[in-house]
Structure formats: C-alpha cells, structure tokens
C-alpha cells in the first residue's frame, strides 16, 4: 500500500486513493466477471496461515511464565539486578495476554472462514451488474457491508485494533527484546556507566546461574516478540485485504469492464 502504513490509516478516503492504482493493476491480472479461484490466487498474499496462528499461540503461552520469572527476580531484591527495569519489563508484558488472546481468536476465525469468504464475496461482486431494483441494491450493499465488518471488526470502514495487537505492542516488546541483549535487567555500577562499559564486559562479573536465568528470559521474550510480530502482520494484512476488496467493489460498479 502507498498510503496505508499503520492500522489506523484505513478510512474511506485512503481506500479510495489506494484503489485508483489497485484497480488498474487488477484489470491486468484478473477478469470480470470474477472467478473465485482466480480471485483467491490474486489475494493469496493476504491469506492467513497455520504458522501465523502457531506463532501467536507459542507467544501467548510464554507470557505468563516469563512474567513469573521476572517477578521472582524482583522479589529477590538482589542488587545484582536493576529493579526499575524489572518493573518496567513486567509492565510491558502484563498487558500483552489480553490483546494477544483476542487477536488469536480473531485470527482463527478469519483462517477458518477465509476460503468461503472469498467465494461468497465473488458471488456478490458478480451479481452487482445484474441488480435492478432499489431493494436488490440495498440488500446487496448490506451483505457486502457485513463482510467488511467481519474483516475490520467494525461496522464503520476503519479497522478496530485498540483491543488487539497494534503498533504499541510491537514497539514496546521489540524495544524490550533489544534492551535485553544489552544487559537491561542487570544493574550497571556507576564506574561501568561512566566508562560506558559494554555488557559483554559487565557480564563477566555476573554469576553463571544468574546469567543463564536472564538468558532464558531473553530467549522467551524473543519468542513472545515473534508472535506479536506475526499478530501485527496478520492485522495489517486484513487492513490491506479490505482495501483490495473495496477496490474490487468499485470496479464491479464501474461502467468499464475488462
């Protein structure tokens, strides 16, 4: 997409703008009336996969155990650790399960319904030129609107993302993951701070069992982050899919057929 880069960018104006070049591209690759098989192939890059769901599931299952590990370190009140950063890590991860769980439910629903969805949408598109009466047009419009509502989680033409994984989660957990590699959970002495010591040097004074415990947390956070990335990518694909479907509807309503 040229103008829609975030989940919040979608609205009818941006979809209209995107549709100008999308319809030109579509007319070079598929023909009207549409074939459900051809349309499914054309929209394949927007399809959901079992690996998307598996990554999200693995991420979700790790959040609570990882939180417990960090909370255990916090309760130890060991000066070896940076308590503020332990608390910040807990804060970042605590909000993830509710959002990721709801995203997983949404993803599963879309995955199970996606083939039938395209077939139904194709039939509606192909019926548009044959609509004669006002009642027929209203009924068809209501069916199409309902399908957009399913994809967008919203009766309005914008994506409802505030209760599922969005840019904030990607940024926060991604930042935590990067910081972990720099010794984020360990306390740096004033001398180490002044010397701007690298963690590769600092960790030499840390007992191996403490390092291993934090390394396991770091590995788990990386897995959690991968699941969050997949959830966000899934959501963005649904936004992009809605623009593709919007463009197909505009094409079906146009006077020129290719």
Note whether residue 15 is domain-resident: yes
Q: Reply yes or no on whether the pLDDT at 26 is more than 80.
A: yes
Note whether residue 254 is domain-resident: no
Give percent above pLDDT 70 in the chain: 98
Note whether residue 69 is domain-resident: yes
pLDDT at 254: 85
Q: Reply yes or no on whether the pLDDT at 258 is more than 60.
A: no
- Residue 164's SS3 state is coil
In angstroms, the CA 156 to CA 160 distance is 9
Count Cβ atoms below 10 Å from residue 171 Cβ, excluding itself. 10
Give the count of domains, the chain: 1
Note whether residue 258 is domain-resident: no
Note whether residue 255 is domain-resident: no
Structural domain of residue 28, as residue ranges?
7-249
Give percent above pLDDT 90 in the chain: 97
> Cis peptide before 33, with omega less than 30 degrees from 0?
yes
Note whether residue 30 is domain-resident: yes
Would you give the DSSP letter of residue 162?
T
pTM of the model: 0.93
pLDDT at 256: 42
DSSP characters over 216-238: HHHHHHHHHHHHHHHHHHHHHHH
Give residue-wise pLDDT tens across range 208-248: 999 999 999 999 999 999 999 999 999 999 999 999 999 99
Contact by Cβ (8 Å): 93, 63: yes
Give Cα separations from 244 to 17, 121, 148, 149, 191 (angstroms).
Answer: 12, 12, 11, 15, 57
Can you tell me the mean pLDDT for 104-122?
97
The set of residues, in sequence order, having a beta carbon less than 8 Å from that of 109 and lying 6+ positions away, is none
Q: Which of 102, 122, 103 is nearest to 114 (CA)?
A: 122
Note whether residue 257 is domain-resident: no
Give residue-wise pLDDT tens across range 180-206: 999 999 999 999 999 999 999 999 999
Give residue-wise pLDDT tens across range 148-172: 999 999 999 999 999 999 999 999 9
Can you tell me the mean pLDDT for 54-81?
97
Note whether residue 95 is domain-resident: yes
């Amino acid at each position: 997409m040229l103008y829609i880069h975030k989940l919040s960018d979608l609205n009818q104006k941006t979809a209209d703008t995107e549709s100008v070049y999308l319809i030109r591209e579509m007319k070079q690759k598929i023909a009207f009336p549409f074939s459900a098989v051809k349309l499914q192939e054309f929209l394949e890059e927007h399809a959901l996969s079992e690996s998307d769901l598996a990554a999200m599931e693995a991420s979700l299952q790790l959040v609570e155990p990882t939180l417990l590990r960090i909370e255990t370190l916090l309760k130890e009140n060991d000066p070896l650790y940076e308590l503020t950063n332990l608390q910040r890590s807990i804060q970042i991860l605590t909000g993830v399960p509710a959002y990721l769980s709801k995203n997983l439910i949404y993803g599963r629903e879309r995955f199970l319904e996606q083939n039938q969805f395209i077939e139904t949408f194709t039939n509606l598109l192909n019926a548009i030129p044959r609509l004669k009466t006002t009642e027929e047009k209203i009924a068809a419009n209501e069916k199409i609107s309902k399908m957009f509502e399913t994809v967008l989680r919203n009766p309005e033409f914008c994506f409802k993302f505030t209760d599922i994984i969005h840019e904030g989660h990607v940024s926060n957990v991604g930042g935590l993951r990067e910081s972990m590699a720099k010794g984020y959970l360990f306390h740096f002495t004033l001398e180490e701070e002044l010397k701007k010591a690298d963690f590769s040097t600092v960790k030499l004074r840390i007992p191996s069992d403490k390092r291993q415990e934090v390394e396991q947390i770091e590995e788990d956070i990386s897995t959690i982050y991968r699941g969050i990335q997949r959830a966000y990518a899934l959501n963005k694909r649904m936004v992009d899919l809605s623009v593709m479907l919007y463009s197909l509807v505009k094409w079906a309503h146009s006077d020129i057929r290719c």
